[in-house]
Amino acid sequence: MALTFDDGPQSVYTPQILDILKRYNIKATFFLIGKNVEAFPELVKRIKDEGHSIGNHTYDHPDIRFQNHKQIRQQIEKTEKAIIDATGVKPYLFRPPYGFDSNLLLKEAENLGYAIILWSVSGLNGRQDAPSAKIVHRVVDNVQNGSIILLHDGNRLSSKTDRSQIVKALPVIIEALQKRGYQFVTIDELLFEKGE
């Protein structure tokens, strides 16, 4: 199964999440917002240097359903440039904001060399007020082999969003799932295992 984090990086919570992942020797996939990449390039470099995968999550998290092909392309390309500037590596994974996709988005992402990645289990933590216990139960009760778990380390609107509930929930989720025999991999590894 794959742990994924959306909307970062964020200066307070992304480092704490990285520390937790390091402590458990787990690699994850981070879907980054371009404007946050530009604000915190050192965190993006750390994500890469610690062996995690990086995906594109648009520049400022618009509702893709209301974007034309040129706007979609600009959102993807601007974020791609920011990630390359921070890491030297071009991402090939793309997660559309809110999980919305369309034929237009699929075509633009494919033309730019991206694989679209959604999720199968959400920790409900897009809501800032979701308590950590609820996040833990939502994830632990709904996973199965091959699950892609959606959590958030940042926020599309504010770098001041409180993600402490994720920091609190993450070790509990990891330990509960490891106890059940699950192994965590990056999206890259998950796709490779499935032969995609």
Q: What is the set of active-site residues?
A: 6, 152
Contacts of 80 (CB under 8 A, 6+ apart): 56, 90, 91, 112
Q: Residue 25's CB: how many other CB atoms inside 10 A?
A: 8
Q: Which two tokens stand for residue 5?
A: 């984090």
Q: Which two tokens stand for residue 59?
A: 């520049």
Distance CA 114, CA 195 (A): 16
How many helical (H) and strand (E) elements, i.e. helices and strands, does the chain have? Answer: 8, 7
Instruction: Identify whether the C-beta of residue 8 lies closer than 8 Å to the C-beta of residue 166.
Output: no
What 3-state class would DSSP assign to 16? helix
Q: What is the residue whose two structure tokens read 């994850």?
A: 28
Distance CA 190, CA 13 (A): 25
Instruction: Identify whether the C-beta of residue 51 lies closer than 8 Å to the C-beta of residue 27.
Output: yes
Please give the torsion angle defined by the CA atoms of residues 147, 148, 151 and 153, in that order, rounded to the nearest 10 degrees: 140
